[in-house]
Amino acid sequence: MSARRKTTVAVIFGGRSVEHDVSIVTGHQVMRAFDPERTDVVPVYIDRQGRWYTGEPLRELKNFQNEIISLKGVHSAILSPSTEHHGLIVNPTAGRFEKSEIIRLDAVFPTVHGTHGEDGTLQGLFELADIAYVGCRVLASALANDKVMTKITLSQQGVPIVDAVSFTRAEWLDAPDKVISHILHQLKYPMFVKPATLGSSIGISKVSDEVLLRTGIEMAANLDRRILVEQGVEKAIEINCSVMGHDDQIRASVLEQPVSWDQFLTYEDKYMRGSEGMKSAERLIPAPLSPEMTEEIRNLAVRAFRGIEGSGIARLDFLIQPDTSKIYLNEINTMPGSLAFYLWQEEGMSPRDVVYALVDAARDAQAEKRRNSYDYRTSLVELTAARGLKGAKGSKGGAKTITKPSG
């Protein structure tokens, strides 16, 4: 192990997302977990406007209290999509006084939560750049980020989810009464109205009559083009489980029961629950459930993560109805806050073990992907050039040459 060359890993945090601040904290927890003897960590900060930076001051959490980007030593940077660079270009628009520089990367560790980070967009950039990256691939990231698509995908695979109705903003604006009557036909109060793709409870409301239902939909429709209305689970107990791995090597962590609601509930919910919901403890680990139920949830977590083609790490959130003991999968977070370090700690894995397991898995996934060939040569361009462009489209004779390799 120690004989191995020192690797360079960029940790990316911040992002154009409502979860910007949480991501700064997760990013710093991850950076701190690396062993400086084995790894050069390159901090990469994406600000709220979506501008990218790197530099020494980004390593200090306290520097983020002020205008960090104006600090000396913070440089503008971009992750190049070109496989030629295989990394970061620092000062990409350098003029006379600053030189631009390329930092080649062995792996990228994204810790951006929510939009433009956890939703497959950032992952798409890593795919283009051909750099190993931690966590879910494009498909799983995009699926899990979308509450409607997660439900459609997982219900087809027998993972229990609460009943729900979904529709687009256009459908709502076009015929609100029709949408309401469809919802009332399918679901009972209380219901939860959610924008399809936001996190941190933004735009989510719990509603118990038609006036509130309409207001909740209006609010969600201002935030997203698709809206989900779910059957509320009464007296729901929340249970979270983290998973790590890929394919048939996914393991589930100990379960936690969060009991502090703070940032995850809407103002109304907090207000309605009053002091009763605001217990002092933050989470119970392990969650106080029977061994059978614990096992069932752990198995469901693994199945659901496989069901979306997940890889790397995630935290899956479940709801239990205590009277019927029914379990429902609520959502999958493919970039969980604090990377669920606290759950893996209970499984005997330190944050350092977790980050290296994830980087190793990222590099394995990259090696696996490199077995695909993307190079397929044809004489199409040559032939088309000879014939002239006009003849290419719709010319039946010419179409055959597309499948003929030049050899």
**Residues within the interface to ligand ADP (CB under 6 A):** 162, 192, 194, 199-201, 204, 230-233, 236, 238, 264, 317, 319, 330-331
Minimal distance, residue 190 CB to ligand ADP, in Å: 8
Cβ distance to ligand ADP smaller for residue 82 or 263: 263
Q: Between β-strands 107-110 and 191-195, what pairing exists: parallel, antiparallel or unpaired?
A: unpaired
Minimal distance, residue 320 CB to ligand ADP, in Å: 10
Minimal distance, residue 304 CB to ligand ADP, in Å: 14
Count other Cβ atoms within 10 Å, centred on residue 248: 7
Cβ distance to ligand ADP smaller for residue 245 or 336: 336
Give the Cα separation of 43 and 57 in Å (integer).
9
Give the Cα separation of 176 and 292 in Å (integer).
44
Cβ distance to ligand ADP smaller for residue 19 or 106: 19
Locate 254 and state its tokens: 């100990």
Which backbone phi and psi does 66 adopt, to 5 degrees?
-115, -170
Minimal distance, residue 302 CB to ligand ADP, in Å: 20
Residue nearest to ligand ADP (CB): 233
Cβ distance to ligand ADP smaller for residue 326 or 387: 326
C-beta of residue 154 within 8 angstroms of C-beta of residue 329: yes
**Non-local CB neighbours of 369 within 8 Å, separated by 6+ positions:** none
Give the Cα separation of 199 and 114 in Å (integer).
6
Cβ distance to ligand ADP smaller for residue 328 or 356: 328
Minimal distance, residue 297 CB to ligand ADP, in Å: 15
Give the Cα separation of 315 and 343 in Å (integer).
10
Q: Between β-strands 132-133 and 191-195, what pairing exists: parallel, antiparallel or unpaired?
A: unpaired
Give the Cα separation of 346 and 64 in Å (integer).
31
Minimal distance, residue 287 CB to ligand ADP, in Å: 14
**Alpha-carbon torsion angle 242, 247, 251, 255, nearest 10:** 30
Cβ distance to ligand ADP smaller for residue 238 or 256: 238
Cβ distance to ligand ADP smaller for residue 8 or 257: 257
Minimal distance, residue 191 CB to ligand ADP, in Å: 8
